[in-house]
Chain A
Amino acid sequence: MLRGMPTVAPALPPGPERPARGLPTLCLMLLALAGAGCARRGGCTGDYCGTVVFVTTPEPDILLPPSSQLVVSRDIADQIFLKLADLGMSGNTVGDTDFQPQLAERWEWANPLTLVFHLDPRARWQDGRPVTSADVAFTFDIYTDSVINSSARSALRRISAVTTRDSLTVVFRFRTRYPEMFYDAVYHMRVLPSHLMGTVPREQWRSAAFGRAPVGDGPYRFVRWKAGESLELAADSTFFLGRPHIRRLIWRFTPDLQVAVTQIVAGDADAIEVLGTPDNARRARAAPRLVTYPYPGATYGFLGFNLRASGDTTEPHPLFGDRALRRALAMAVDRVALLRSVFGDLAKVPPGPMPPQWWIWDSEIRDLPFDTVQAARQLTRLGWQASGPGGDGIREKDGRQLAFRILVPTTSAIRRQYARLLQQQFRRIGADVQLDEVEFSVFNERMQAGRFDAVLNSVNADPTPSSSISQEWTQAGIGLSNFVRYANPAFDRLAEQASDALQRDAAKRLWRRAFEILNDDAPAIFLFALDNVAAVDRRVQGVVIRPDSHWALVRLWRIPADQLTERDRAER
């Protein structure tokens, strides 16, 4: 066998461009004996063929929207379940003008606090039952249930009730008036089949069997899910908003991003939503079979300073309780160099806690400069003296070294890379940094409990700043996602005013003032904000990527009949 290897190999075509070509040869060889035909003739032809294989690194946990928060689960579930209406390409979350009808064919405001939806009478569950207003009321009940604990629960807190008027009319009542009422009513909830899920006890929703074989009302039906391998959906040819052109959607799970990119470059997959690193982007751009699609990302990452003592939230942190020290450390970091080292051109340095996707992105926002001279001077002024010649170069104050630990999850290659680069940069100005590289479960436990000095965190933000910012950076967010326990009343006030502003210009000005206050306090060093690049096979036409939900418009993609490959036409 050892010697047999090289003799088998040269029998394959020399230097094939894609591994798939090796397959027919190999299988011809193996099947010469079996006597079965290798390539099947015929198969699907015409406009509604085509198979698109998405490659992702994580695998979904469950395809039941309120029970899962994973992006990949959402990507797949959104092909199966519909919302009442969906966000448009503009990404405008204020008012209702930029929203597209989905389950609701139209809507009207009965009064400023009452919103009435009229469901599309053609909408059907995939088992043939019609979608009714009762399903919508059921869905609201599920999403606001404390046992289910969907991530949208807090976003729905200002909706007081959802009632049915007749089988196709459903009424939303709000507690207060605010700019993003419509967005909250439609964006978070995927309508669920009450006739199938109504009897399932709420504490069993976490792992309901339905979530591994869902029945929805969307453009695609669930076919199969092979754990650790792949998941397949098939187009619903009777879908009421138009039959999808792509016949099969397959997600294949490849835990390693680099391998995933190899697969798409080789033609073993057709689409990937994010390339992640500069060399992956280079490989994808160089591949003739691929087209790359840049779109603004939803993720930003930062080094957060714990303002409270590690493990004791009642005391200020011995180092980071000092605003001037935080500012000095922030000025010591060359964020542009770090960014280029890790991401190349696939990210930007954010001017505050924001992803490029937000319309309030404003590179004019005032931020601390990169200035090691000033940083060093400031540290000295604060009493952190550089040790004399022969010392280890670590600054000291009253016999205490300028030393702290950074909490990093081992699961994120990007953040590990950042942590090591930061370790080096801080060392240069005389701060000794150790890394706590821990499993994600420990990372979360410690972040939640405040048991850390500094943390390398990243946030996958909502399409709109109002909810995200208050969770991450205001007093109200302490106990939620404000792990560094930053609290500044001036910032909180401005953020609230900005969220309530009805005019985008006014809101943008308020946000800018808020972020300048935040940047001056330096509770964190904002390191990266992703500019995503998706790659999709060239034969797929009509690819449009909506930044807030990259695969939301897959039902409009198509593969022209003359470009179908054997893989597109294959019958299962």
Chain B
Amino acid sequence: MNAWKWLALAGALGAALLVAGAVRRRARDSAAGRRFLRHPASTPGVFVLAFFVTLAVAAPLVAPYDPDWMPGIVELQNRPPSRLHPLGTDIYSRDVWSRLVYGARISLGIGALAMLVAVTLGAAVGAVAGYFRRWVDAALMRFVDVGLALPRIFVLLMVVALWEHVPLAVLVLLIGFTSWFGTSRLVRAEVLSLREREFVAAARALGARPGRVVFRHVLPNAAAPIIVSAALGIGNVMLLEAGLSFLGLGVPSPAPSWGSMIFDGTQKMAVAPWTSVFPGLAIAVVVMALNGIADGLRDALDPRREAA
């Protein structure tokens, strides 16, 4: 860990501060933005998230070592934090800090992509169910009930077993495909009330096809709950990935996801706690930031609740 890397780290912090500052300035201009800022956890959330995204993007600049490099599998394993290795080394003598930095790419990446899949699917299903109602709604919502009736980790464990080896892309899709149930319920409720509004009726009267009405007129107006559930969804996916990795069925080796880092460290929890404590803290901090942002967004986008 040389001076340049410390400088890069300081740079990442600076970048995050700049982002947070810019967000604050932009937000002050609108009523919704001011409501967002009034939530105590929103600005720190933006800062933390910006910091970790910067780390992920600039990983090669910030990380002092190759995350897979094993410099001394006998002498350098399970070393406590030191000047050379600020967060210590793991059981394979890899640098925990470098893995944490590169792990931000994988963990945030999985979180964002799987959430994208889940929210797209959830919004589509919810909109279709809410707009068409009757048997479409009944069928889709019963399916959602089924999806919500089993702990997701059980479902994922079974679905993952349908593949002989699960590539990262498939894992992301699978997590996405099992995470959309809650979103679809929210969106459906929103669409149910929106479809009775005048502008929807007007669009229909003008002869727009149902697909156009749903995706052009109804969904954009249901954006608020979708955006909020997306912010929460990233965090939930990260927690889920960590749980799956903890059972040994997560991201394939040697890719350093935070969940798999925790898992690698659990065997040595008694002698080298830093190997799983730091990635766990990283998850907690990022998920907390996302929750804070989601809370702020909810206040901003849904003034009715803001009375509280």
Contact = CB atoms under 8 A, between A and B. Distances in A.
Interface SS majority for chain A: helix
Given A420-B92, A420-B254, A439-B161, A337 B74 contact: yes
B70 A424 contact: yes
A277 B254 CA distance: 22
Contacts of B247: 410
A257 to B, nearest CB: 8
Interface SS majority for chain B: loop
A279 B248 contact: no
A148 B65 CA distance: 56
B208 interface: no
A405 B165 contact: yes
Given A410-B248, A436-B164, A341 B74 contact: yes
Interface in B49-82: 68, 70, 73-74, 77-78
B91 A442 contact: no
Interface residues of A, number: 30
Interface string B15-50: 000000000000000000000000000000000000
Interface stretch (B132-140, B188-196, B262-270): B262-270
A435 B270 contact: no
B267 A258 contact: yes
Interface string A279-316: 10001000000000000000000000000000000000
Contact of B269 (A258, A283, A341, A405): A258
A438 B270 contact: no
Interface in B235-278: 247-249, 252-254, 267-271
A434 B254 CA distance: 9
Interface string A440-465: 00100010000100000000000000
Interface string B104-133: 000000000000000000000000000000
Contacts of A89: none
A413 interface: yes
Contacts of B74: 337, 340-341
Contact of B267 (A283, A413, A436): A413
A420 B68 CA distance: 10
Given A341-B73, A434-B252, A283 B270 contact: yes
Contacts of A411: 248
Nearest to A452: B164
Nearest to A339: B74
A520 B253 CA distance: 31
A423 B73 contact: no
Contacts of A420: 92, 253-254
Nearest to B91: A417
Interface in A252-295: 258, 261-262, 277, 279, 283
A341 B77 contact: yes
B73 A421 contact: yes
A442 B70 contact: no
Contact of B253 (A279, A437, A439, A442): A437
A435 B253 contact: yes
A446 B165 CA distance: 12
Contacts of B270: 258, 261-262, 279, 283
Contacts of B253: 416, 419-420, 423, 435, 437
A360 interface: no
A261 B270 CA distance: 10
Nearest to B167: A434
A269 to B, nearest CB: 16
A559 B164 CA distance: 52
Nearest to A409: B248
Given A405-B165, A410-B249, A279 B92 contact: no
A279 to B, nearest CB: 4
B180 to A, nearest CB: 26
A442 B160 CA distance: 12
A290 to B, nearest CB: 16
A423 B269 CA distance: 24
Contacts of A424: 68, 70, 73, 92, 254
Nearest to A407: B165
B252 A437 contact: yes
Interface string A17-42: 00000000000000000000000000
Contacts of A405: 165
Taking each of B73, B92, B249, which has the highest tally of chain A beta carbons within 10 Å of its own beta carbon? Answer: B73
Given A417-B91, A419-B253, A436 B70 contact: no
Contacts of B271: 279, 283
A159 interface: no
A338 interface: yes
B268 A421 contact: no
A442 B161 contact: yes
A435 to B, nearest CB: 5
What are the 8 A-B residue pairs with the smallest beta carbon separation, nearest first?
A410-B248, A341-B73, A279-B271, A340-B74, A436-B165, A341-B74, A435-B253, A424-B70
Given A258-B270, A435-B253, 20 more contacts: A258-B267, A258-B268, A258-B269, A337-B74, A340-B74, A341-B77, A341-B92, A410-B249, A416-B248, A417-B91, A417-B92, A421-B70, A421-B92, A423-B254, A424-B73, A435-B252, A436-B164, A437-B249, A437-B253, A446-B164
7 contacts: A261-B270, A420-B254, A423-B253, A424-B73, A424-B254, A438-B165, A446-B164
Interface of A: 258, 261-262, 277, 279, 283, 337-338, 340-341, 405, 410-411, 413, 416-417, 419-421, 423-424, 434-439, 442, 446, 451
